[in-house]
Structure 1
């Protein structure tokens, strides 16, 4: 076995060298910046690790002065982020929807305590009695998402796995129909975050006005504020020009989330320049529906909520805020009434930016960490998955070569050694794990393939278990392989 072992080592080394061109590369915030240099420097000081970030657009508002900066790249090609670059802002849209409710209530069009059916008679079942205020404060008892376990669970899981659009196909009619199938749970009256509840709220307000939601929001909130670059794309092909491209922190490109039904919960694209106009008006109290930010209900000992807007206490500070997260974007918008200071941070990967925003507001680092994303074991889930998938196939192949029952088993092990490498590349979080680890896994798999080729001539086609059982096993393995290929190519 000396010759094949030496050859396997040589081939493994060559595979690692050749694999440099294919190894996973996580986005990394580069040194380029456009706009206010002092602000850009402050942002970099608030970024603990540039790995996993590709681009950031930032704005601060204080004393009537607006400062903006763009850092890094808006896409993999290296196009620069500018203050006017459009980003997907996700759930910051909910803050706008809350303002729309406050505006329509002030105009006498609706009352916050009206049941949703008063504005949207098509809603049936127990949900029809939920009030607009309950929807706007996440106290409706409705689930986070309207999901049929038979028809929706697999598509939602697939979208999460492949960085796809979980809201594809959810138009207004489907949201309204789904409301009739949902029932407020025992948690009604307590704060439980619900994307579906906000989607229903926005559609109810639009139905009452007799226009679609984007038109109503533009007429009542966006246009009066001069937010001309805040838009709701009708589809992936109608995204705003020169927009940022979203990605997972590990580097996988993410599809935009486009849904007319869920638009009020998180369908907007905007710029830090537009959102700075919103902040300035909120701080001045002149924004349409600004009363939405007034805390009305208590979530816990640190957090209260108004209509869409949260208020959180950090020591002796109170920050009014909302954040957002989609498949490939993160966003944060917050302001402090006592200091008259506000901040917007938009990023085009799924790595959280809340900590950056809080640091720019002056919240101490140890308190700002609390809003920085998953903690404990959860933060290591992505890197752990990358590590396991990188080596699982190659090590399994080496074990199979040693016992070598038959060619069928060996061929399946070779195929899975390669597939696991592909899955590790696509699903693993390489923002905290060096891409060179993947090269080592590729070397192990390549060495196993060489040793398998040496064993091949001496093995029978099928051995051991009855042929029917082996063929069934092959069929199951082939189906799994097809699914793995789909995940890799999606």
Structure 2
């Protein structure tokens, strides 16, 4: 900024405030290109119109980008698609979604099917994986029913970092972990008491890898040959490290609209890592399990109690709702949710697949005729923190007004910090609850604060070394976050 411009600005009372206001307005317009866009169902509809109306009534319009639904009743299957698969292409029964933990039901069915060929479910898993160094005495049946005592996951440094940063970067927390890494995790963890149902992704992954080892093949091939091909599920696949995504795949989003990376982990495939399917394919699975014709259909038979209302078989759960009993499983990855279930008494089944992280369990249960309360949108503690970060520019404004910024290097550091906080808030904020224009307001506050600070502090930089650190650190964080989002 030239000295003449500063003199002119200082000669007119209030000109600095005008410049700050103009700066805020310009930045708000530009930031509109990046404003969070929470998912909402568009007007697109495919398939059975009556079913689509029932789905919309059960789901509502907010929180979902695209839904693909199958309803099995009276010996026929109807399909409906609502919204879009990727922001433009209408969702339908052939749209491919990450199905997450619904895969666990298939892994349980593989055990039940192999048991019919002579494999004892009471076999200790370490007997099938003698080179893995496993210490757990858990049996195949205990792994399939979450009674092995194994933890949900081994929280390694990489997985912990992925879990913490994933909601803000959209990255895959599993990072392509292969079978060897999963076996190493299983060998390293300390198992708790066996016999009590405690949900374990690690246990189900270990089960699938053990069944594949016993069969002399990979989990993906075992799944295809023993279950998918017999059922005609040609659009279901467990992706390997170099496999292309399904041709008609959806794009997953967080509840606040952040685009999420696809999860790839062939090591965790038996628990749902990198497994894709369609409503059309999963309807075949549900129908065949419901009528008992699927390979390993006995896996859905409840065998052990989790609590007073819920029992578990091999991968499948059965829950009592008043006078109704539903056999089911759900799934969730970074940007997808799913539900598959049926009522054994009414012979009615349902599949619900979504390309957003908002759960669809209630949608599936309502379509099965089970009355469940609606979800209440609430502002969490994390959401409140994100809102505070959105207005990080207020600190810069206060410092500028009080004359606490001695040089432009300090202003640059504060500006970069504010931009970093804004980007974190954009990616992790509660924008499905709070109107996204609040984030625009935060961007405008930062722009106005920068304008006020620059007008009031003409010095170029100070000699203090920490001023350089205060500028370099947020610049590095901002660059790292941008690269993580791009990658």
State the TM-score, normalized to the length of structure 1. 0.91
Structure 2 residue aligned with 1:112, among 121, 127, 130?
A: 121
Is the 8 Å Cα contact of residues 256 and 429 (structure 2) preserved in structure 1?
yes
Q: Which runs of 5 or more residues in structure 1 are unaligned?
A: none
Provide the secondary structure at the position in 1 that maps to 2:63: coil
Provide the secondary structure at the position in 1 that maps to 2:302: coil
Is the 8 Å Cα contact of residues 29 and 51 (structure 1) preserved in structure 2?
yes
Q: Which residue of 1 aligns with 2:78?
A: 67
List per-residue Cα deviations over 1:406-427 (Å, max 9, x = no partner). 1133221122222222222222
Q: Which residue of 1 aligns with 2:341?
A: 334
Q: Which residue of 2 aligns with 1:413?
A: 414
In 2, Cα distance between equivalents of 1:162 and 1:412: 22
Structure 1 residue aligned with 2:314, among 307, 310, 313?
A: 307
Q: Does 1:96 align with 2:106?
A: yes
Say which is worse superposed, 135-144 or 177-186, in terms of deviation: 177-186
Compared CA separation, residues 257 and 176, structure 1 to 2 (3 A): same
Q: Does 1:246 align with 2:252?
A: yes
In 2, Cα distance between equivalents of 1:205 and 1:125: 15
Tell me how far 1:147 sits from its aligned partner: 3.2
In 2, Cα distance between equivalents of 1:397 and 1:185: 51
List per-residue Cα deviations over 1:29-74 (Å, max 9, x = no partner). 11211000000000000123x2221100000001211000111111
Structure 2 residue aligned with 1:51, among 56, 62, 65?
A: 62
In 2, Cα distance between equivalents of 1:147 and 1:256: 20
Compared CA separation, residues 125 and 81, structure 1 to 2 (3 A): closer
Q: Does 1:157 align with 2:158?
A: no
Q: Does 1:397 align with 2:396?
A: yes
Say which is worse superposed, 469-478 or 432-441, in terms of deviation: 469-478
Tell me how far 1:152 sits from its aligned partner: 4.4
Q: Does 1:5 align with 2:25?
A: no
Tell me how far 1:101 sits from its aligned partner: 0.5
Provide the secondary structure at the position in 1 that maps to 2:106: helix
Provide the secondary structure at the position in 1 that maps to 2:148: coil
In 2, Cα distance between equivalents of 1:475 and 1:82: 48
In 1, Cα distance between equivalents of 2:131 and 2:385: 45
Q: Does 1:260 align with 2:260?
A: no
In 2, Cα distance between equivalents of 1:199 and 1:100: 13
In 2, Cα distance between equivalents of 1:309 and 1:437: 43
Aligned residues: CA RMSD = 2.2
Is the 8 Å Cα contact of residues 130 and 140 (structure 1) preserved in structure 2?
yes
Q: Which residue of 2 aligns with 1:365?
A: 372
Tell me how far 1:306 sits from its aligned partner: 0.7
Q: Which residue of 2 aligns with 1:388?
A: 388
Compared CA separation, residues 87 and 477, structure 1 to 2 (3 A): closer
Is the 8 Å Cα contact of residues 133 and 307 (structure 1) preserved in structure 2?
yes
Is the 8 Å Cα contact of residues 413 and 472 (structure 2) preserved in structure 1?
no
Structure 2 residue aligned with 1:195, among 193, 201, 210?
A: 201
Q: 1:27-42 residue pairs with structure 2 within 5 A?
A: 27-42=39-54
Tell me how far 1:479 sits from its aligned partner: 4.7
Structure 1 residue aligned with 2:362, among 350, 355, 362?
A: 355
In 2, Cα distance between equivalents of 1:97 and 1:28: 33
Provide the secondary structure at the position in 2 that maps to 1:295: coil
Is the 8 Å Cα contact of residues 423 and 488 (structure 1) preserved in structure 2?
no
In 2, Cα distance between equivalents of 1:240 and 1:22: 28
Q: Which runs of 5 or more residues in structure 2 are unaligned?
A: 1-12
Q: Which residue of 1 aligns with 2:445?
A: 444
Provide the secondary structure at the position in 1 that maps to 2:69: strand
Is the 8 Å Cα contact of residues 171 and 485 (structure 2) preserved in structure 1?
no
Is the 8 Å Cα contact of residues 419 and 478 (structure 2) preserved in structure 1?
no
Q: Does 1:218 align with 2:224?
A: yes
Q: Which residue of 2 aligns with 1:135?
A: 143
Is the 8 Å Cα contact of residues 144 and 207 (structure 2) preserved in structure 1?
yes
Give the aligned length: 472
Q: 1:286-297 residue pairs with structure 2 within 5 A?
A: 286-297=293-304
Is the 8 Å Cα contact of residues 36 and 258 (structure 2) preserved in structure 1?
no
Compared CA separation, residues 321 and 99, structure 1 to 2 (3 A): same
Tell me how far 1:126 sits from its aligned partner: 1.8
Is the 8 Å Cα contact of residues 176 and 200 (structure 1) preserved in structure 2?
yes
List per-residue Cα deviations over 1:81-138 (Å, max 9, x = no partner). 1111111101000000001111111221x111110022222232422x2110110011
Tell me how far 1:263 sits from its aligned partner: 0.8
